[in-house]
């Protein structure tokens, strides 16, 4: 599909909407993109950067010519738009969303009788940063992308849509919407609440001059990055998936009770197993979404323990036009000493980076 008359509408052009729109602009430069966002600065940037072609101000009329419409506002605002969109979208339009919770929107779609045009979507990727300025045309590349079709949409439309999402580089997984919400409560929503709670523990204990903030080291920072995520996005996710979230939080409450009891009884065996079992499961979690089903484009480099090594390595790759997707030092059982992990965008870049670095006498490992 390269026609310029293929039109895609967006409601919400923040981190996720902006990233998908930028991805579409990169892969299908001739498509027409129409954007709506409550933030005028976002619309201004999206127009100036050539990501959208025009602005929608009224969703009752302005998406009438769209082939696809993406709902990318906070989850409960997405639901609020459905009634007006029902009036306006054409019969061939596929309506989709990127929301982190699926049941509430599916129930509204059923209530409004819009099941023949709706395919729920949710890219399992993101960041604690919000807004268009943090969006990237490659955000969904190599990421899992949940697809939750309704029971009434045709298989052919689902196939067409999943193909489209895969053209953006994502790895689609079709899932029932209830199952989706149970899974994401565990792997995403409860972790966000617990990260926020950990920050509250420290912030409530901190001194007026912020001594704990100064002293907080890697462990605290690693586990609480996501506590900086958008409050409105997470307020809405929490309420929208409250049943699943509450169930898991109650289990966590019980487990913490056992930990307190083990401390009271100085039960070393319980505590040792508690950490051992958590560590074993954590070590088996793949580093990136692609780990399980597709080769990942990662290389690992031995780095001398001296200042400036990371900068030298990244400069070397940049000078040779190799773009880096992600970079970080990792320590795990595979690389006990710690290595620099560099994630590239594709296989060709990974091979090129390996050669450049080996030519400069770096030790580069490829994943076994």
Per CB under 6 A, the segment of 72-80, 109-117, 177-185, 214-222 that binds ligand NAD is: 72-80
Task: Give the neighbor-by-neighbor strand order of the sheet with 339-344.
Answer: 324-330, 339-344, 298-301, 364-366
Q: Which is nearer to ligand PRE, 9 or 99 (CB)?
A: 99
| Contact flags string 22-41 toward ligand NAD, x per CB under 6 A | --------------xxxx--
Please answer whether residues 102 and 241 qualify as being in contact, where contact means their C-beta atoms are separated by less than 8 angstroms. no
Our finding on whether 73 is near ligand NAD (CB under 6 A) is yes
Q: How far apart are the first and last CA of the chain?
A: 38
Say how far apart CA 218 and CA 177 lie, in whole Å. 36
| Contact flags string 175-214 toward ligand NAD, x per CB under 6 A | ----------------------------------------
The minimum distance between CB 55 and ligand PRE, in angstroms, equals: 26
Please answer whether residues 173 and 158 qualify as being in contact, where contact means their C-beta atoms are separated by less than 8 angstroms. no
Say how far apart CA 85 and CA 69 lie, in whole Å. 9
Nearest to 247 by CA among 204, 186, 203: 186
DSSP state of 189: I
* Residues contacting residue 148 through CB under 8 Å, at least 6 positions apart: 102, 106, 119, 120, 121, 122, 174, 175, 176, 177, 180
Binds 299: which of ligand PRE, ligand NAD, none (CB < 5-8 Å by kind): none
Per CB under 6 A, the segment of 96-104, 166-174, 195-203, 350-358 that binds ligand NAD is: 96-104
Our finding on whether 300 is near ligand NAD (CB under 6 A) is no
Q: Which is nearer to ligand NAD, 123 or 149 (CB)?
A: 123
Our finding on whether 188 is near ligand PRE (CB under 6 A) is yes
Q: Which helix (H) or strand (E) holds 270?
A: helix 268-283
Say how far apart CA 98 and CA 121 lie, in whole Å. 5
The minimum distance between CB 19 and ligand PRE, in angstroms, equals: 12
Q: Which is nearer to ligand PRE, 180 or 313 (CB)?
A: 180
Task: Among 45, 100, 172, 354, indicate the residue that binds ligand PRE (CB under 6 A).
Answer: 100
- State the CB neighbour count (10 A cutoff) for residue 232: 13
Token couple for 310: 């990371």
Say how far apart CA 185 and CA 248 lie, in whole Å. 8
| Contact flags string 107-126 toward ligand PRE, x per CB under 6 A | -----------------xxx
Binds 188: which of ligand NAD, ligand PRE, none (CB < 5-8 Å by kind): ligand PRE
Binds 149: which of ligand NAD, ligand PRE, none (CB < 5-8 Å by kind): none
Kindly list the residues in this chain that would bind ligand NAD in the complex (CB under 6 A).
11-17, 36-39, 42, 72-75, 77-78, 98-100, 122-123, 126-127, 130-132, 230, 233, 237
Kindly list the residues in this chain that would bind ligand PRE in the complex (CB under 6 A).
100, 124-128, 188, 226, 229
């Amino acid at each position: 599909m390269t026609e310029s008359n293929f039109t895609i509408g967006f409601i919400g052009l923040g981190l996720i909407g902006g990233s998908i729109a930028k991805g579409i602009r990169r892969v299908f430069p001739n498509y027409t993109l129409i954007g709506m966002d409550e933030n005028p600065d976002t619309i201004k940037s999206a127009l100036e950067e050539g990501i959208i072609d025009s602005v929608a101000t009224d969703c009752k009329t302005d998406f009438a010519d769209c082939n696809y419409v993406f709902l990318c506002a906070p989850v409960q605002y997405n639901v609020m738009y459905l009634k007006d969109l029902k009036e306006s979208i054409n019969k061939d339009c596929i309506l989709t969303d990127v929301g982190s919770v699926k049941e509430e929107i599916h129930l509204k779609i059923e209530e409004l009788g819009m099941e023949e045009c709706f395919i729920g979507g949710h890219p399992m990727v993101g960041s604690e940063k919000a807004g268009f300025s943090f969006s990237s045309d490659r955000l969904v590349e190599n990421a899992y992308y949940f697809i939750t079709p309704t029971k009434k949409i045709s298989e052919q439309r689902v196939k067409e849509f999943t193909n489209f999402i895969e053209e953006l580089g994502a790895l689609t997984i079709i899932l029932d919407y209830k199952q989706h919400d149970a899974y994401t409560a565990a792997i995403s929503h409860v972790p966000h609440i617990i990260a926020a709670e950990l920050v509250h523990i420290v912030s409530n204990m901190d001194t007026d001059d912020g001594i704990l903030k100064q002293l907080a080291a890697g462990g605290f920072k690693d586990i609480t990055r996501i506590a900086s995520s958008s409050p409105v996005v997470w307020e809405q996710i929490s309420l929208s998936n409250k049943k699943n979230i509450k169930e898991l939080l109650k289990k966590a409450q019980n487990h913490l009770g056992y930990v307190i009891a083990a401390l009271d009884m100085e039960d070393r065996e319980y505590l040792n197993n508690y950490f051992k079992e958590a560590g074993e499961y954590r070590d088996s979690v793949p580093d990136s979404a692609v780990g399980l089903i597709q080769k990942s484009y990662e290389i690992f480099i031995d780095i001398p323990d001296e200042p400036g090594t990371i900068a030298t390595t990244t400069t070397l790759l940049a000078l040779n036009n190799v773009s880096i997707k992600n970079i970080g030092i990792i320590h795990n059982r595979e690389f006990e000493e710690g290595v620099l992990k560099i994630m590239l965008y594709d296989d060709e870049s990974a091979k090129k980076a390996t050669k450049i670095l080996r030519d400069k006498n770096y030790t580069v490992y490829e994943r076994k």
